[in-house]
Structure 1
Amino acid sequence: MIKKVFGAALAGAALLIPAVSVTATANPGPSGIPASGIPSAESPARSKAASQDAKWQRVGDGITAGISGLAAAGRHGAAVDTLAVRDNKKPGENRLVAVRYSPDAKPRVHEVTWRGEQPVDLEAIDAVPGHDGSYVAVSSSGTAYHIQREIRGEGAEGDTVRVLRATRLPGVAADDNYEGFALIAVQGTIAAVWADRGQDDRPGKLTAAEWNPTTHTFGKRDSKEFRVPYPTKDVRHISDVKVSGSGALTVSSASDPGDDGPYDSALYDAGRVLVGRHGDVRLSLSAAPHRLATFPGHKIEAVLCLPRSREGILGTDDENDGGSLTSTAFCRP
């Protein structure tokens, strides 16, 4: 059966953020990345990726303040409102944080209260297309929490989420460690993509399937292994994954030698998500993923592509050095 690539944009208004400059790319467009958003076959970026001199903004200090997943929540003027998860594990430690981000202003941060029993080790989050204030947050063990955000005032006491349903991701294995999750809607189908990170010689694994937000059921799964050539030591092949409106898959990878680093990260064009005529979802991965940029000194664990835009936001979990955000043009709408 002939498949077709996603042609619908993500729900929500276009959110534009000025890009930070990227160096060492061939034929750059105005944002520093080639006009196509992907290096051409002749581009040196296939063998030598861009090195990112990003303007990082700190959003928290210490090991409980990292950002492990990021979702768009709207906009406020030129700024972008985001909802982020933290991979904290102990009772009383914050699980969710709201961040109003602008490249030219100090981020505004407040904690969000998780009502009920707190999850352990949240590693990813994305907004549910077409469902205002609805998100899915995923733990490292493979539990997906469909949550609804309710804002009734300022700060954590007035900004809460409640769990609509907690569901185990299908196909979870004992040694899996999930760090990425993404949702996209096209022609009545919501597709979910989730990622086991892998470790060193063990490749990561991407899985895609249709997801029904009403019944919380998944359709037929398509899974593929994913391995990156860089970083080369203490490698997590996938530290997050997001899907643009065109179905393009962006994957972050990271080197994590421990709570004090030193860290290193990279962004990859990993391939595409495809949808068939009857709503079946599958993955088409690049045999040799294109490295879009490197980010020395940080462990990127959160990737966000803004609707109908090439601009994206990256978040870090730098363990003892806290969490930070930056923006740059890496998405392919």
Structure 2
Amino acid sequence: MKKVMFAEFGGPDVLRLIDAEEPHAGPGQVRIAVRAAGVNPVDWRVREGQVLGAHPTVLPSGVGLDASGTVDEVGEGVEGVEIGDPVFGEGSSTYAEFAVLSAWAKMPAGLTFEEAAGYPSVVETALRLVREVDVMAGQTLLVSGASGGVGSAVLQIARERGITVIGTAGTANQDYLRGLGAIATTYGDGWAERVRQLGQVDAALDLAGSGVIPELVELTGDPHKVISIADLGAPEFGVRFSGVAGSVPDALAEAARLISQGKLHIPVEKSYTLAEAAAAHVDSHAGHTRGRRVIVV
């Protein structure tokens, strides 16, 4: 089978598309014929060797956590899923023609494989952040870097829970944020003052890692009300860096519920082939995404 691998930590150029042996499902796992794989910032952070504590990596290594596809092998002890079922979930080395998933859910009706691959990690992250930042209905949450996959999910989850969201993004994404129910404003010079004029901020999330932690602490008045998933230096300001996943099966079940009810939709901005994995990482690293990037197999 075809699989994207890297034999050393480094830039996008270390990625190689190779012929590899097919993986097999172990106990509590399923194997899928991959139809699409989600492209997440953690993918290139792993490739660069940035997050070895949270994601121990043995070289040579595959790439990717999220995928959608059809079940073609069911591990021992697995119930409720059959060969041929369309599923989406999390596993390892998902930039490949076959991948093993350790958490999955059946795809909601009407969802394409390309769309489904964009949900698992971002919805788990969004649900975790909203829970950890402890923002309640009637309060206001500031989301810095709100137009990407996690931001898109946070905005919709918060809206469903009665939380007001102020989102920052580039000029081109202002209408996109408003369409997701957020109060939108641009980043760049004077952004903190623009946010301040929109009202009191009860909690804040840094999703882009653009050096805004001091301003987020100032706007909330409390570093404990700020969480980052993108700035590894956040703890220097007393701000939590959230990088450890919660229950992925629960998050997938919640994602399926929200999608089925029409309360959650994350668009796919761009698709790539397996051979274009390096380009996908370059684009992901550059940011400014509206929704998700995926690799189609």
TM-score w.r.t. the length of structure 2 is: 0.27
Q: Which has the higher strand share?
A: 1
Q: Which has the higher helix share?
A: 2
TM-score w.r.t. the length of structure 1 is: 0.25
